[in-house]
């Protein structure tokens, strides 16, 4: 499990509403044997979530628990049972640590419309420095260091969101970002305003988009003040 970047204001902004669920996120757990690639891809697609890879992994974890952690179920669905078992062990360890230090564990009901939204916000609170913006040219630029990157072919989305968070920066023949999830631009200025302070932001298309979002937010505040 990768470490999260920490921003002091995140806890008050997002309240880590679904941190308990984030503990379930596993590393990449999909198997794709050469002799059964088509079947493996079809199995992976059954767990896919429209908003990205982190939520797809969470769907896998839910299914794993619902099937009583059955190794045969993992085998039939081309899932790495050891990876899920390891993630489950880490989750239990983190829950024990949070309990020991009296850290609040909140949870959004799985059937709530806000369930996946809250998880995406919480992921952003942890990975606010690992964000990329879709340019008009069709490629992505990583925020602040402006590196041209592409979504890794293994991603689960059938569209290219304007903003994404990512786990890994992969250097091959092209620069890829892997394990990505769709986020909203307005969340950046709500969850990590210090990092997205435009006075320290390089000139780029993402900065212009953020400027419009900041201006919109200021107009909304002015209207509320009446």
Note whether residue 5 is domain-resident: no
Mean pLDDT value across the chain: 86
On whether both 118 and 172 belong to a single domain, the answer is: no
On whether both 60 and 162 belong to a single domain, the answer is: no
Q: Which of 22-36, 86-100, 197-211 has the highest mean pLDDT?
A: 197-211
Instruction: Check residue 101 and give its pLDDT.
Output: 87
Note whether residue 1 is domain-resident: no
Which residue reads 């996946």 in tokens?
A: 116
Instruction: Check residue 109 and give its pLDDT.
Output: 82
Q: Report if pTM > 0.95.
A: no
Q: How many CA atoms lie within 13 A of 78 on its CB side?
A: 19
pLDDT value at 3 more than 70: no
The domain boundary residue, chosen from 122, 146, 174: 122
Give the integer Cα–Cα distance in Å for 197 and 104.
Answer: 29
The domain boundary residue, chosen from 122, 146, 163: 122
On whether both 24 and 51 belong to a single domain, the answer is: yes
Instruction: Check residue 43 and give its pLDDT.
Output: 97
pLDDT value at 6 more than 80: no
Q: Which domain holds residue 136?
A: 127-225
pLDDT value at 212 more than 60: yes
On whether both 108 and 166 belong to a single domain, the answer is: no
Among 5-9, 28-32, 42-46, 216-220, the minimum mean pLDDT is found in 5-9
On whether both 198 and 138 belong to a single domain, the answer is: yes
The confidence band for 172, taking pLDDT boundaries of 50, 70 and 90, is confident
Angle ∠(180,125,1) on CA atoms, nearest 5: 60
Note whether residue 58 is domain-resident: yes
The confidence band for 166, taking pLDDT boundaries of 50, 70 and 90, is very high
Note whether residue 141 is domain-resident: yes
On whether both 158 and 207 belong to a single domain, the answer is: yes
On whether both 200 and 135 belong to a single domain, the answer is: yes
Note whether residue 2 is domain-resident: no
Give the 3-state secondary structure of residue 136: coil
Overall average pLDDT of the 133-140 stretch: 95
Give the integer Cα–Cα distance in Å for 80 and 45.
Answer: 16
Q: How many domains does the chain have?
A: 2
Note whether residue 36 is domain-resident: yes
Note whether residue 190 is domain-resident: yes
The domain boundary residue, chosen from 72, 97, 122: 122
Instruction: Check residue 22 and give its pLDDT.
Output: 54
Cα torsion 201, 3, 151, 116: sign: negative
- Residue 217, judged by CB atoms within 10 A of its CB (0-12, 13-18, 19+), counts as middle
On whether both 15 and 89 belong to a single domain, the answer is: yes
On whether both 133 and 117 belong to a single domain, the answer is: no
Higher pLDDT, 172 or 188: 188
pLDDT value at 12 more than 50: no
pLDDT value at 204 more than 70: yes
Instruction: Please name the residues in contact with 36: beta carbons below 8 A apart, sequence gap of 6 or more.
Output: 78
Note whether residue 6 is domain-resident: no
On whether both 157 and 214 belong to a single domain, the answer is: yes
The confidence band for 5, taking pLDDT boundaries of 50, 70 and 90, is low
The confidence band for 90, taking pLDDT boundaries of 50, 70 and 90, is confident
pLDDT value at 190 more than 70: yes
On whether both 117 and 16 belong to a single domain, the answer is: yes
On whether both 30 and 108 belong to a single domain, the answer is: yes
Q: What is the pLDDT of residues 33-71, one digit of tens each?
A: 999 999 999 999 999 999 999 999 989 999 999 999 999
């Amino acid at each position: 499990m990768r470490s999260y970047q920490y921003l002091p204001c995140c806890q008050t902004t997002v309240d880590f509403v679904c941190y308990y669920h984030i503990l379930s996120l596993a590393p990449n757990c999909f198997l794709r044997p050469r002799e059964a690639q088509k079947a493996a891809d079809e199995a992976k697609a059954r767990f896919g979530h429209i908003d990205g890879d982190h939520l797809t992994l969470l769907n896998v974890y839910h299914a794993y628990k619902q099937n009583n952690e059955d190794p045969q179920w993992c085998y039939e669905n081309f899932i790495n049972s050891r990876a899920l078992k390891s993630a489950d062990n880490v989750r239990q360890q983190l829950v024990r640590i949070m309990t020991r230090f009296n850290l609040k564990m909140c949870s959004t009901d799985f059937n709530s419309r806000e369930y996946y939204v809250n998880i995406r916000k919480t992921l952003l609170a942890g990975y606010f420095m690992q964000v990329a913006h879709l340019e008009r040219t069709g490629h992505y630029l990583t925020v602040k260091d402006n590196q041209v990157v592409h979504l890794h072919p293994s991603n689960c989305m059938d569209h290219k969101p304007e903003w994404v968070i990512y786990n890994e920066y992969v250097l091959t023949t092209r620069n890829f970002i892997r394990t990505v999830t769709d986020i909203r631009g307005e969340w950046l200025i709500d969850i990590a305003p210090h990092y997205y302070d435009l006075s320290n932001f390089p000139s780029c298309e993402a900065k212009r988009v953020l400027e419009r979002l900041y201006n919109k937010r200021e107009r909304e505040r002015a209207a509320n003040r009446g």
